[in-house]
């Protein structure tokens, strides 16, 4: 009986610790880069934080901001054109 109680207490402790740690995780990011078209050299990378749980719609806003900023740098510094890679979520709590 003592072993069963010990296992139960340990299980509750570990599950509580897991919930605590998952609540402390950082917010996810939308990350992307813009490249020169002729030689594939990197012009600029951006990352924009969002939190869909706390601020619904923040992922869509972060994605739009990522593309807007990368297009700006591509138009400004892309000598013979540019291409964008990314503006995807880093994962996390979307």
Residue 3 resides in a domain: no
* Reported confidence tier of residue 58, pLDDT bands at 50, 70, 90: very high
pLDDT in tens, 6-40: 565 656 555 554 444 445 457 899 999 999 999 99
- For residues 14, 18, 19, 21, the Cα torsion angle rounded to the nearest 10 degrees is 130
CB atoms closer than 10 angstroms to residue 85? 14
User: Does residue 11 lie in a domain region?
Assistant: no
Contacts of 80 by beta carbon, 8 Å cutoff, 6+ apart: 36, 37, 38
Share the mean pLDDT of the chain.
83
Better-scored residue on pLDDT, 2 or 89: 89
Inform me whether the pLDDT recorded for 42 exceeds 70. yes
Q: What's the pLDDT score for residue 91?
A: 75
Tell me whether residue 5 is in a domain: no
What range defines the domain where residue 66 resides? 27-89
Q: How many structural domains does the chain have?
A: 1
């Amino acid at each position: 009986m003592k072993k069963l109680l010990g296992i139960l207490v340990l299980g509750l402790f570990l599950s509580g610790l897991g919930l605590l740690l998952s609540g402390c995780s950082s917010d996810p990011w939308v990350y992307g880069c813009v490249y020169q078209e002729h030689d594939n050299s990197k012009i600029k990378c951006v990352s924009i934080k969002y939190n869909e749980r706390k601020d619904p719609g923040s992922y869509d806003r972060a994605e739009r901001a990522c593309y807007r900023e990368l297009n700006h740098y591509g138009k400004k510094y892309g000598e013979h054109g540019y291409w964008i890679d990314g503006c995807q979520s880093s994962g996390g709590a979307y």
